[in-house]
Amino acid sequence: MPRFAAIFAVALAAVFLAAGQPTVAESFETTDTNGVTLQAFPVATFDEPWAMTFLPDGTMLVTTKPGKLFHVTRDGEKTEVAGIWDVAYGGQGGLGDVVLHPDFSQNNLVYISNVETQDGGDTFRAVVRRVRFDRFGATPTLADAEQIWTQTPNVPGQGHFSHRIAFGPDGMLFITSGERQKLTPAQDFTTALGKIIRLYADGRVPDDNPWQIRGELAKTFWTMGHRNMLGIDFDRMGRLWVHEMGPRHGDELNLIVRGENYGWPVVSNGDHYSGVPIPDHHTRTEFNTPKAFWVPAISPAGLVIYDGEMFPDWRGDGFIGGLSSQALIRIDISGENAREAGRFEWGKSIREIEQDPNGALWVLEDDSDARLLRLTPKD
Ligand SMILES: [Ca+2]
Ligand SMILES: [Ca+2]
C-alpha cells in the first residue's frame, strides 16, 4: 500500500475508534448443507454478548454477560444504557435476557434477567426485572426497575440459570428456570429449578397454571423436568418451543405443553459426563419426548421461529444458535414434527439469534470480541 494511503487508513480507523462508531468490516458469505448461501454483514462487536431484542423502529437492545446493556442502531452505533444494576458475573452467570413487553410501543417496558449472589457470595440465583426504557433523553436510561421473579432456592454454583424470557400471544410471561446443575430438583415440586415458569406480565401468579395443590411455589410452574434452557419462542400458531442442553449429548427441542414433565434427570437421549448411561426417552412414556434431539451435541443457545418476508421458504422454521457446534442451525417444523434441515458454519460459536422487523436474521457470536452479524439472502 502506498505510504499516504496507509496513513489515511490508520487515520480513518483512529477516527472511528475514537468516536466509538462502527468500524469498517468486510461482509462474507456462508453456505449451508443444502447449498443455500447467505451474505453476512458484521455490524458491531461486543464483549461476551448474551441476548438481543429488536425495538419496533429496527434498533436493538443487546446485553453483555459482564453486565452492560447497549442500544444499537442498524449501522452498529452502540450507546450504553444507563441505570443497569449490579449483576453476579462469573461461570454461566451475569446479565441475561432482554425482551419487550407486548405493548412496548405504549408503555416502554422491557424485561431483563440476570444472576445475583446471596449469602455473602456463597449462593446464586436468577431474577427478572420489569423496567421502563427511556430512549428519548440525551442518554438512554432504565428507570422504575421492579423485580418480578426470583429463582427459588438460591444454591451454590454458577451454572444452568437458563433465565430466558418470552411473552405468549395472550400476553402471559414465560421464564426458563434451569436446574442449576443439581439434577433431581427438576422433578421436585418444592423448588423452581428445572421448570418453565408462567406469570402475568406484572409478576402475579395466574390461578390457571397446572399444579394448584403442590404448594405455593408449584403454582408458578407451567412444565417441569427440564435441564438448561437457553432458547424459547412462540410460533405463529401460538405454540411454545423451548430447547435445552443435554448432559453428554442429547440436546433437545421440545414442544411445550401445559402440565407436562420433560423427564430430566430420569431420562435423556444423552449420558452423564462420567459416561454413566441415562435411560433414553422412549423407555418412559410418562415423560414428554423431544421433537428433535442431537447426538452429538450442538449446545443450543438462542431460538427464533422465523416469521418474516425476506426468506419466504423459511416461514415457520426454527433457527438455533450453536455454541460447541459453531453453527446456525435451521429446523424444519411441520405439524408437531421438527428436524434439523440445514446448518450454516463460519467457525464461530453463536449465542443468540433474532429476526428484525424487515425479516433479516441477526446473530450474536459468543465470547469476547464477538460480532453482531446481519444475514440476508445473497444478492
Ligand atoms: Ca432475544
Ligand atoms: Ca427431556
Interval between CA 232 and ligand 2 midpoint (Å): 15
Three-state secondary structure call for residue 122: coil
Q: How many CB atoms lie within 10 A of CB 56?
A: 9
Phi, psi dihedral angles at 169 (to 5 degrees):
-60, -20
Residue-level pLDDT at 276: 93
- Residue 309: C-alpha distances to residues 312, 352, 353 (Å): 5, 21, 17
Half-sphere exposure of 81 toward its Cβ, with a 13 Å CA cutoff? 27
Interval between CA 49 and ligand 1 midpoint (Å): 11
DSSP 210-273: S-SSS-TGGGGEEEE---EEEEEEE-TTS-EEEEEE-SBS-EEEEEE-TT-B--TTT--SSB-T
Distant-in-sequence contacts of 121-125, Cβ < 8 A, 24+ apart:
122/156, 123/154, 123/155, 123/156, 124/88, 124/93, 124/154, 124/155, 124/156, 124/157, 124/158, 124/161, 124/180, 125/150, 125/151, 125/152, 125/153, 125/154, 125/155, 125/161
Residue-level pLDDT at 119: 93
With beta carbons less than 8 A apart as the criterion, state whether 363 and 350 touch.
Answer: yes
Three-state secondary structure call for residue 6: helix
* Nearest listed ligand to the Cα of residue 252: 2
Q: How far apart are CA 257 and CA 364, in angstroms?
A: 29
Residue-level pLDDT at 314: 97
- Quick one: how many helices (H) and strands (E) in the chain? 2, 25
For the chain, first and last CA: distance in Å? Answer: 30
Nearest to 370 by CA among 348, 355, 346, 354: 348
Residue-level pLDDT at 25: 79
* Nearest listed ligand to the Cα of residue 245: 2
Interval between CA 302 and ligand 1 midpoint (Å): 7
Residue-level pLDDT at 351: 98
Interval between CA 253 and ligand 2 midpoint (Å): 9
Interval between CA 97 and ligand 2 midpoint (Å): 23
Its pTM stands at 0.93
Ordered structural domains, the chain, with CATH: 27-377 (2.120.10.30)
Half-sphere exposure of 282 toward its Cβ, with a 13 Å CA cutoff? 1
One digit per residue, pLDDT tens: the chain, 379 residues? 444 444 444 444 444 444 445 555 799 999 999 999 999 999 999 999 999 999 999 999 999 999 999 999 999 999 999 999 999 999 999 999 999 999 999 999 999 999 999 999 999 999 999 999 999 888 999 999 999 999 999 999 999 999 999 999 999 999 999 999 999 999 999 999 999 999 999 999 999 999 999 999 999 999 999 999 999 999 999 999 999 999 999 999 999 999 999 999 999 999 999 999 999 999 999 999 999 999 999 999 999 999 999 999 999 999 999 999 999 999 999 999 999 999 999 999 999 999 999 999 999 999 999 999 999 999 7
Which residues neighbour 139 within 8 Å (Cβ) at sequence distance 6 or greater?
A: 79, 82
Instruction: Give the cell for residue 130.
Output: 420489569
Interval between CA 262 and ligand 1 midpoint (Å): 24
Residue-level pLDDT at 30: 97
**Residues with a known catalytic role:** 160
* Nearest listed ligand to the Cα of residue 264: 2
* Nearest listed ligand to the Cα of residue 233: 1
